[in-house]
Structure 1
Amino acid sequence: MILIAIVEKPKRQSKGDFKGRHFEAWLIIQAVTWYLRYPLSYRDLESMFLERGFEVDHSTINHWVLAYAPLIEKRLRLFRRPHCGSIRVDETYVKIGGKWRYLYRAIDKRGVPIDFLLAAKRDAAAAKQFFRKMLEDQPLLAPDKFGTDGASVYPATISDAVDAGLIPPNPLHRVSKHFQQGIESDHFRVKENMPKVGGFQSFRTARKTIAGFEAMLWLKKGFDFAGEWTVRKQNKLLSCCFGLEMVSEG
């Protein structure tokens, strides 16, 4: 009953999501979630659907991912629960258009993902933008402990967040490799299915697709729902978010 009540808002938002599409909604969401969940290329998915009697061009699947990955992230964001007061912040490299860009990410001490931001530069402006995005977006208990690497931008960024009233005064800031091990491992989980050769072709493509990768990691780690959090239950939640019966029985 609680889950039904929670999904009512995303179900209302789902009207018109698939208007004008030439394939059924369940097949579109299945293709997108497979791409975001497993190390598959668009051509792999084209072949897999062909085996099942569906002729779907790999470029069409690419268009679906760019259209629906951000929607999946937006809908699943509604289910996040409040985090504990201790978080770890770090950035990792992502290749876009032949250049290295920066993905800012944060998790809490339990390893639960909090938020992310793709930035063109690794500087104070990007760090402050990420903190504002992370701290203004509820639900998030006002953190009073921050773990970061030794980048010089973080003390000023944390101070700026205090001045803006986003976190309590006098937060504890720890610079420690030990505290950063968890988020560094978490980077791998969100990056393992990204393009291995050449990276992303454009910042727009990267931003939309990474939103889907992050959302699927949220989904995989769960939202504190009771019982075993199986892939089937994950798919059921996704189905509800788009007003569908079921994405997959797998």
Structure 2
Amino acid sequence: MMKKAPTPRTALAPGIAKVLKQLHCPLDVMLMCVRWYVAYGLSLRNLAEMMAEPWIEVHHSTVYRWDMKLLPVLEKAFRLRKRPAGKSWRMDEMHIRVNGEWRYLYRAVDKNGNTVDFLRRAHRDKVAARRYFEKAIEAIDADRETPIKIRRCKYLNNLVEQNFRVIKRRTRPMPGFRNFRCARILLAGIELMPMIAKGQMQCAHGTHPSADDQFYDLVT
């Protein structure tokens, strides 16, 4: 049985309510398509064909539009509920193809494999990437007696390199991103699902919702 996303009667987040005025389809259908697209190795056409089986007619370009509209709002809602990362971080980068050209995705994870943050860059500019994460470190240092130190140690990056596999598995079936904005939105959505699965989202005390229930809960 398909799990139901919140209905319009449920108190929706302001961003979601605003987006719904622009999209004319049941919220549960849109959220299911968006979640499946960022979580699994499916193309937009795959999703359109799958939805046609239960007699839900949707064009693959419509699914893409749902992704572009809903994912930024869902990511913003997740960041408000994101658990703090650990104190020890590992950072590395991977290649992504945007409009036929190679671009870069920098990621940092803590020693437990939880995602700290990620950054998309048009060029392999480690200085800018390091500056970005140092800014995040400064925000943490404000509440610490002992400041965080940055050190180089190649073997420590094995964890973040293995962590990249989840992202690579999802992006491999894609033909590439149309532009940098598309890459930014979809990669943020792709990053969202593993973070939820790793328990990085704060939930009500004493509850243990599944990853998909947590995803749907982001709209409220």
Same fold (TM over 0.5): yes
Other-structure match for 2:104: 102
CA contact (8 A) 1:108 1:114 kept: yes
Instruction: Give 2:105's aligned amino acid.
Output: L
- Stretches of structure 2 lacking an aligned partner (at least 5 in a row): 1-10
List gaps (5 residues or longer) in structure 1.
1-8, 143-164, 244-250
One-letter amino acid of the counterpart of residue 241, structure 1: L
Q: What's the Cα RMSD here?
A: 2.8
Give the alignment partner of residue 13 of structure 2, picking from 11, 14, 18: 11
Q: Counterpart in 1 of 2:199?
A: 222
Indicate the SS of the match to 1:222.
coil
- Could you say which residue in structure 2 is the equivalent of 1:78? 80
Structure 1 residues 167 and 97: CA distance shift in structure 2, 3 A: farther
CA distance in 1, matches of 2:21, 2:144: 42
| Match 1:176 to one of 153, 158, 180 | 153
1:94/1:167 Cα in 2 relative to 1: closer, same or farther (>3 Å)?
farther
Distance 2:126 2:55 in 1: 51
Number of the residue aligned with 1:157:
none
Q: Where does residue 50 of structure 2 map in the other structure?
A: 48
Moved over 3 A (4+): 9-14, 132-137, 165-174, 195-198, 224-230
Secondary structure at the aligned position of 1:90 is classed as strand
Provide the aligned length of Structure 1 versus Structure 2.
Answer: 209
TM-score by length of 1: 0.73
TM-score by length of 2: 0.82
Q: CA offset at residue 80 of structure 1? A: 1.4
| 1:85 counterpart SS class | coil
Shift of residue 71 of structure 1?
1.7
Q: Does structure 2 conserve the Cα–Cα contact (< 8 Å) formed by 1:10 and 1:241?
A: no
Which whole-Å CA distance do the structure 2 matches of 1:47 and 1:89 have between them? Answer: 38
Q: Where does residue 206 of structure 1 map in the other structure?
A: 183
**Identity over aligned residues, as a percent?**
33
Q: Partners of 2:34 and 2:17 in 1: how far apart? A: 18
Kindly state the Cα deviation for residue 228 of structure 1 after the two structures are TM-superposed: 9.0
